[in-house]
Structure 1
């Protein structure tokens, strides 16, 4: 099977150019009835609290403080929207799986996320970020089941690659791919990234550039 990143245009370069352009915060939504109007294609990022989601968004865009990072799990309580050069919208979703958050607050966040996933026609793909040191957790599987039920295409991105021994990385990717075969809406590709040293970030940019090119060319999305 041909790796789609190796076929056709130079997707690595296309991704670099895409994320070299401006990217700016433009909206935050704490309620499902307060979402911005549907516009550019949306690429969302989900993951457990402290998985490194905001750090990865910053690494993708080459900015140190576009997405707010924190050592306090559960701090992101809204859907945060960033305009990527007018071609796409990046969406930083609330973290999940943090026990210290009140049940009431957790339920509120859950409703916001569910409503967003089920009723957002501009949403092209969700990247589910998983801590590469530990692999998939129960809360990750629950999120993926929600995405399956919502018929939202998603892909798994492993984070913190620099903290995983080189000898263990291939096995972690293979175990993740094996788990994805049980999820109907999962894209059969895993990208292993490090926000600290940039490993895997060009591949993620390329994945997004390819998605947008397919959308703009009328070819639909893959996965």
Structure 2
């Protein structure tokens, strides 16, 4: 796993990097496995980038937007629908991992405990996991459960980047303020990537930049 202090702000992606990322994410992206428990996880074959966040934050919609597909990852207006760790092989170069949402209270405590144990065991113990995209609803910002998750990632020295979702539902000046507030909070988290990305799965805003960031972890073409 990668991680540690990463607060040196990188340059914005070049046009060449954006195009290379677009080509990568246009490749065939196929379902590999869905694991409800750690023993069900597939073999570690490719570099992995994972998407995590509170229930109904828009993880599946974002995975669909990144790959230009409408139905690759299941989406639902019902929080808590994604109950497994779901793996997608992107062009034989990168594994995209859609993780169960955390913090959804309308399921049994036993089921929530199983989800949470599997989620955090995966995050702590997967050697091929290179980067976590931590999705935060751009309308609401960081919540207590998000901070707890970031503390765990810090302890695991696992690099993560905050990605604000649902940007189309937030006014530009409010989003700018949210980015500034979130960036300030991240300075207390040593494994956090310093650049906060604002995205919208509806309009495509921020999607090319996130593709470019995640493409850095892919195997060479």
TM over 0.5: yes
Q: CA deviation at 1:3?
A: 4.3
In the other structure, the counterpart of 1:186 is: 192
**Alignment partner for residue 125 of structure 2, among 99, 113, 119?**
119
Q: CA offsets, 1:59-81, max 9 Å, x none?
A: 00000000000111111110000
Is the deviation greater in 100-109 or in 54-63?
100-109
Q: CA deviation at 1:170?
A: 1.1
Structure 1 residue 153 corresponds to structure 2 residue 153 = no
Shift in alpha-carbon separation, 1:156–1:2, aligned structure 2, 3 A: closer
Contiguous gaps of at least 5 residues in structure 1: 218-223
Structure 1 residue 172 corresponds to structure 2 residue 178 = yes
The answer (yes or no) to whether the contact 2:48–2:128 under 8 Å persists in 1 is yes
Q: Structure 1 CA distance, aligned partners of 2:217 and 2:44?
A: 18
The answer (yes or no) to whether the contact 2:51–2:134 under 8 Å persists in 1 is yes
The answer (yes or no) to whether the contact 1:176–1:190 under 8 Å persists in 2 is yes
In the other structure, the counterpart of 1:197 is: 203
**Alignment partner for residue 5 of structure 1, among 4, 12, 23?**
12
What is the number of equivalent residue pairs in this alignment? 214
Q: CA deviation at 1:146?
A: 1.3
Q: Structure 2 CA distance, aligned partners of 1:3 and 1:202?
A: 16
Q: Structure 2 CA distance, aligned partners of 1:159 and 1:146?
A: 22
Q: Structure 1 CA distance, aligned partners of 2:59 and 2:28?
A: 20
In the other structure, the counterpart of 1:207 is: 213
TM-score by structure 2 length?
Answer: 0.92
The answer (yes or no) to whether the contact 2:13–2:209 under 8 Å persists in 1 is no
TM-score by structure 1 length?
Answer: 0.92
**Greater relative CO, 1 or 2 (CA 8 Å, sep 6+):** 2
Root-mean-square deviation over aligned CA pairs = 1.6
Trace 1:68-147 onto structure 2 (pairs within 5 A).
68-147=74-153
- Please state whether the residue corresponding to 1:109 is helix, strand or coil: helix
